[in-house]
Structure 1
Amino acid sequence: MSTDATSEVTQLVLRERQSRDRGWYEEMADCFADRSVVRMSWFTGSGADFVRATRDMAGRHDLAVHRLGPPTVRLLGKRALVELPLIIEWRIDVGGVEADLASACRSQYRAQRDGTGTWRITRITSIYEKDTLTPALPNTRLDIDPQDLAAYRPSYRCLAWDLNRRGYEVGDDHLGDDRPDAVQAQYQDEMTWLHQSSTPAA
């Protein structure tokens, strides 16, 4: 594995997240290949549309920040797979009470070196683990009916509840550790893609 290529791919993934959190949308857009796909709780579509939707989300003051763990990179020729552990953090209002929503997930990135020798992201897929919702201040209480959360899956229950009440559409079909068979199939698909170096990136 090339140390230089591993570093380039690592920085690509980290730059995409930093650019999103900081509102550097031109730099964020440059991280994506022309034919790219992003799939996460609130969005499914192309990389270019993801950047535009992120800008719109920020305009509604709905943008979160991401606390990142060390990425793992697998490199084969002009293709790379990256798994990036992260926590999505939101400061939200629940009935007039400040609350902190933290959603733990891991994002899987496909990256490919293009004709100019530049690494770009061709796919992002999120796998959700668990989330929490807690008061931001001591001695305050969140008044949430447990039945309002009961319909949501445990891997992204609080995240889906909050995004849906804001007007985003979050379904129950996303990858999560509460559905291990689907997660295992996702890993197998990613490894198959990595080793199919003769086929176009998807």
Structure 2
Amino acid sequence: MAVRDSDRDEIRRLVENWAIWRDSGDWDRFATVWHPVDGWMSATWFQGSASDFIEVSRQGFEKGVSILHFLGGHSADVTGDRAIAQTKMTISQRATLDGIDVDVLCTGRFYDFLARQDDRWTIVRRQPIYEKDRLDVIDPAATPTIDSELLNRFPVGYRYLAYVQTKSGFDVKDGLPGLTGDAVEQLYGEGAEWLSGAESPGVPA
């Protein structure tokens, strides 16, 4: 089956809708971007089904948890009714460390496994790739005390994001894909296998 420009356009819109609807709390429409049966989300603080991710995201949103997403360049490889999309992104989280307000910014890519069914694309699996991050204080006169032992537990690509999330009470997963390394090479391999017709989209982190 020939790849249509409309396929790539639809996939791009799907990725953009994910960010807009999730960050604005539009949960009914957010649910439509996911595969209705097999949708799976992996993040620093969550690994599980799309339906569970929607629910915990809703709960966090209602409690005032501020995790926002900004999107950049996009590329999609399409083979028949399957696709792998990569989209540059930044995760921005506002949090409080020992009474000091901070922003943590993590830059990377969304790596999406997609399937088309009934002429509609949906996300089967999303695995972010974490490339680099930083921590900024809101008040330049404030200086948070950093627990270097805790900070250094996590990979360079999402070290500060993991630190802030752990301090905020999240259970953060170690060993997620970064710019280079075994984890991201495994992810690329799983993406290639998905495009080649593998039964499942790899082993979600």
Superposition TM-score, scaled by structure 2 size: 0.90
2:54 aligned with 1:48: no
Deviation at 1:51, TM superposition (A): 0.8
2:133 aligned with 1:110: no
Sequence identity percentage: 27
Deviation at 1:83, TM superposition (A): 0.5
Aligned pairs for 1:1-202 within 5 A: 1-33=3-35, 34-114=37-117, 116-177=118-179, 180-196=181-197, 200=199, 202=201
The answer on whether the counterparts of 1:42 and 1:169 sit within 8 Å (CA) in structure 2 is yes
Work out the CA distance in 2 between the residues paired with 1:150 and 1:201.
Answer: 34
The answer on whether the counterparts of 1:54 and 1:63 sit within 8 Å (CA) in structure 2 is no
Work out the CA distance in 2 between the residues paired with 1:10 and 1:83.
Answer: 10
Work out the CA distance in 1 between the residues paired with 2:167 and 2:97.
Answer: 11
The answer on whether the counterparts of 1:81 and 1:108 sit within 8 Å (CA) in structure 2 is yes
Work out the CA distance in 2 between the residues paired with 1:152 and 1:6.
Answer: 35
**Secondary structure at 1:176 match in 2:** coil
* Stretch moving more, 164-173 or 27-36: 164-173
**Secondary structure at 2:59 match in 1:** helix
Deviation at 1:4, TM superposition (A): 0.8
Residues 57-106 of structure 1, C-alpha deviations (whole Å, 9 max, x = no match): 21221131111112111111111110011111112222222211101121
- Residue type at the aligned position of 2:192: M
Name stretches of at least 5 consecutive residues in structure 2 with no aligned partner: none
Runs of 4+ residues deviating >6 angstroms:
none
**Secondary structure at 2:39 match in 1:** strand
Work out the CA distance in 2 between the residues paired with 1:10 and 1:64.
Answer: 21
Deviation at 1:169, TM superposition (A): 0.9
The answer on whether the counterparts of 2:100 and 2:137 sit within 8 Å (CA) in structure 1 is yes
**Secondary structure at 2:140 match in 1:** coil
The answer on whether the counterparts of 2:176 and 2:183 sit within 8 Å (CA) in structure 1 is no
Superposition TM-score, scaled by structure 1 size: 0.91
Q: Pick closer, same or farther for the CA change 1:42–1:22 going to 2, 3 Å.
A: same
Name stretches of at least 5 consecutive residues in structure 1 with no aligned partner: none
Work out the CA distance in 2 between the residues paired with 1:82 and 1:10.
Answer: 8
RMSD of aligned alpha carbons: 1.6
